[in-house]
Structure 1
C-alpha cells in the first residue's frame, strides 16, 4: 500500500512537532514543508529534534503544490482572528480546490463548523472542498479534545444540571512572554486589558465548543455569558520568560457559559497560574496541568486528563502543543478517506494513531524543548 503524501505549512511549534510526529509511520510520508524567513533551507527535522529528516524547508508555494500531496497540515500561527481567517483561508481554498485534504489546529472556531460566526467563510471552504474532491478538518486540544471528552462523559448521564470543562494549568514553563501578556494578560499591570478580556473574544474561542456540546445533546443555546478575573503577584515570581514583578498579573480565571432553558447549563472555565499558591480559592489541579470535565446531575461525573510527566513540569507547555498536533496528525488517514467537504470529529471514526507502537527513539530521545 502506498503511503499518503503529506506537507506541513508553517514552521512554528505546531509545524515543528508535526514534522516529528509524521516520522516513522507506515501509512504517511512527509514530502514537503513550507515556512518563512530564518527557516528557509533548513532540514525540517531540525525544527523539533536534532535529527535531520531529509525534507528541506521552502518558502515557495509552487514547490509545495507541485508535490501533489494527499494532505496538508496547516500550522500557520496568526494571532489576529480576522487576519488568520484571511491568511489561512487563502491557503485552505487553494489546497482544497487542487484536491488536497487539509487538517489544521490554527482555527479552533472551525472545530464545529456550524458554530462558526462567518458561515459565508464555511461555505467558501465547503465549495472549494467539493470542487477539488477534498476534505477539510479542524481540531486540537481545546477546542477539540475537551469537547469530545465532555460528550463522552455524558454517555454515562441520565439527567444533567450542568457540564463544566476546566483547563487548569500552571503556565510558568511557557517561554514566550508576548503570547502570555497579549492574549491572557500575564506580566502586565491589572488595568491593561488583555485580548481575552475584551467582550466577545471568549465566544470566538469557546463559543464553538459550547454550541457543539449543546447541539449534540439536542439543545439550542439561548444566551452566553463571559467572565474574566485576574489576580496579581504578591511577590516577584520567576518564570521561564523572566520575572513577573509584584503587583503584575500572575493568575487569571476565564469563564464562558451557555444558558439552556433559562439556566446555566454548559461552561468552559480556564484557571491559569504562574505559581501554585496564588488564588487558592480558585479551582486547582493536583499536577501542573490538567483538563477536567465535571457533570452535575444523575449521577455526578468527573473525568480528568493530566498532561505530561509529573516529574518534569518544565515540559508542560511542550506537551500541550504535542497533544494539539496529534489530534490532527492522527486524523490524516481518516480525513483522506472521508467524503469531500468540511467535516468535524463527530462525523469521523475515532482517530486513533497508526504505527503507535513503533520505536519512540525520535519521538522522545531527540526532541528539543524550545520557545
Structure 2
C-alpha cells in the first residue's frame, strides 16, 4: 500500500480537452506526480507537456509508444482519450500498472454488448485477465456517467423505501469543444436523418452502465434497460464559432436510459442536452445534475457547479475549463484508492467513500 506521504507516479494518456485540463490539475494535486504523457498526434510527440496544456514548461516530454509508458514505471496511467484503447490498456495492465479512465467505461456491460475485441472474447474478460496477470486495477468514471450516479446512490441513504430514482443531466453542452464528439453524436445532421438514433445510442450507450451501476448498489436485479429519445431541431442556422448547425438539424435531445423491473422503470439516467436554446422542441435546461427519488421520503436534489471567483462565464475557454475539470477530477481524486484496491476491474461500488473525496490544499 502506498502511504499518503508518497506521491503516486502518474503517466497520462491524451492531451485533448480533458487531458490538458488534468495536466494542470495534477500539477497542484498533493497525492500525484506527473512522470509522463502519451500522445496520439505525431505533432505533439517530443513537445513539453506543460506547453501542450497551456502552462509553463514542466520538463515532462510527450511520448508516443506503449513501451515508453511501461519503461517509465508509473504506478497509474490516467486515460483521457475520447474513445477507449484496449490495445494500450492490456500491455499496461499486464505490466502491473493501474488504469483510471474517463473514456466510455463504468461497468463494461455496454463495451461487451456493442464492441468486439480482436480475440473474440468479451472486452471485460480481456481486461480482467490482464489485471490478474499484472496484479493491476482498472477503473472507469467521470462526472456523468460517474459522480452523478454516486450522488444519486448516496441520496438514498435516508430513504426507507425507493419507488424510483432518476438522475438527470440538464446542461448546455456547447462548452464541450470537441468537434469529433458531436459529429459522432449527430449534432448538425438533418433532424430526419435516419442515422441519428443509432449515433445517439452508440455515443451514449455507456449510460446504460450508469443505470446498472446504481441498480447493483441497490441489489436490484433488472429485467432490461430501455433506451428512448426525443430530438430538438434547430429553428435557425446556429454558428458557435467552433461548430455549425444549420436550420432543421439536431441541436438538442432528451435521452432516457431506464432500468425496468416487472415492466416498471425503477432506476433511470436522463440526458437533457442542448447545443443551442433555439430548437423545437426545446427543454428547460437547469444547468445542473438532478437526483429525484420517489419513495418514503421523497428526495429532490440539485448538484450545481459554479466557477471560483475571477473565472468569467462569458469567456468560452474559462467556461469549457469547468466542464473538463468536473469530468476529469472524479478520476484524478480516485487514484490513491484505486491504487490501493484489489486487482481486477472495479466500479464505484467497490471503492471506499474516500475515493470520492476532493483535496484541501496544504
SS in 2 for 1:357: coil
Pick the aligned partner of 2:55 from 50, 58, 65: 50
2:252 — aligned with what?
251
SS in 2 for 1:22: helix
1:10 — aligned with what?
14
Pick the aligned partner of 1:96 from 71, 93, 96: 93
Counterpart Cα distance in 2 of 1:272 and 1:156: 30
Counterpart Cα distance in 2 of 1:96 and 1:274: 37
1:318 — aligned with what?
321
2:112 — aligned with what?
117
How do residues 103-142 of structure 1 correspond to structure 2 at under 5 angstroms?
103-108=100-105, 111-113=106-108, 117=112, 120-142=122-144
Call closer, same or farther: CA 1:353–1:28 in 2, change over 3 Å: farther
SS in 2 for 1:172: helix
Distance apart, 1:77 and its partner CA = 2.5
How do residues 303-314 of structure 1 correspond to structure 2 at under 5 angstroms?
303-309=301-307, 312=313, 314=316
Q: Which is worse superposed, 302-311 or 66-75?
A: 302-311
What are structure 2's unaligned runs of at least 5 residues? 114-120
1:231 — aligned with what?
232
**Are residue 331 (structure 1) and residue 329 (structure 2) matched?**
no
For these two proteins, the number of residue pairs brought into alignment is 344
Counterpart Cα distance in 1 of 2:288 and 2:200: 26
With normalisation by structure 2, the TM-score equals 0.86
2:39 — aligned with what?
35
Call closer, same or farther: CA 1:23–1:206 in 2, change over 3 Å: same
Conserved 8 A contact 2:172-2:285: no
Call closer, same or farther: CA 1:42–1:198 in 2, change over 3 Å: closer
Call closer, same or farther: CA 1:277–1:311 in 2, change over 3 Å: farther
Conserved 8 A contact 1:253-1:272: yes
Counterpart Cα distance in 1 of 2:97 and 2:164: 41
Q: Which is worse superposed, 19-28 or 346-355?
A: 346-355
Counterpart Cα distance in 2 of 1:231 and 1:200: 16
Call closer, same or farther: CA 1:349–1:196 in 2, change over 3 Å: farther
Conserved 8 A contact 2:39-2:45: yes
Call closer, same or farther: CA 1:342–1:325 in 2, change over 3 Å: same
Distance apart, 1:13 and its partner CA = 1.9
Counterpart Cα distance in 1 of 2:253 and 2:291: 19
Counterpart Cα distance in 1 of 2:225 and 2:340: 36
Counterpart Cα distance in 2 of 1:27 and 1:223: 40
Conserved 8 A contact 2:233-2:280: no
SS in 2 for 1:241: coil
Counterpart Cα distance in 2 of 1:35 and 1:278: 37
Pick the aligned partner of 1:346 from 320, 345, 349: 349
Conserved 8 A contact 2:45-2:63: yes
2:118 — aligned with what?
none
Call closer, same or farther: CA 1:206–1:186 in 2, change over 3 Å: same
Counterpart Cα distance in 2 of 1:258 and 1:355: 34
Distance apart, 1:114 and its partner CA = 6.4
Q: Deviations over 1:49-85 (max 9, x none)?
A: 332211010113222211111111122333xxxxx4x
Conserved 8 A contact 2:253-2:274: yes
Call closer, same or farther: CA 1:294–1:194 in 2, change over 3 Å: farther
Counterpart Cα distance in 1 of 2:332 and 2:144: 15
2:183 — aligned with what?
181
SS in 1 for 2:350: coil
Q: Deviations over 1:107-163 (max 9, x none)?
A: 22xx22467635832222222212212111111111111111110111121222221
With normalisation by structure 1, the TM-score equals 0.84
Q: Deviations over 1:25-62 (max 9, x none)?
A: 33321111111312111110122233221101011322
Counterpart Cα distance in 1 of 2:24 and 2:237: 37
Distance apart, 1:176 and its partner CA = 3.5
Q: Which is worse superposed, 6-15 or 190-199?
A: 190-199
Conserved 8 A contact 2:236-2:278: no
Conserved 8 A contact 2:49-2:57: yes
SS in 2 for 1:11: coil
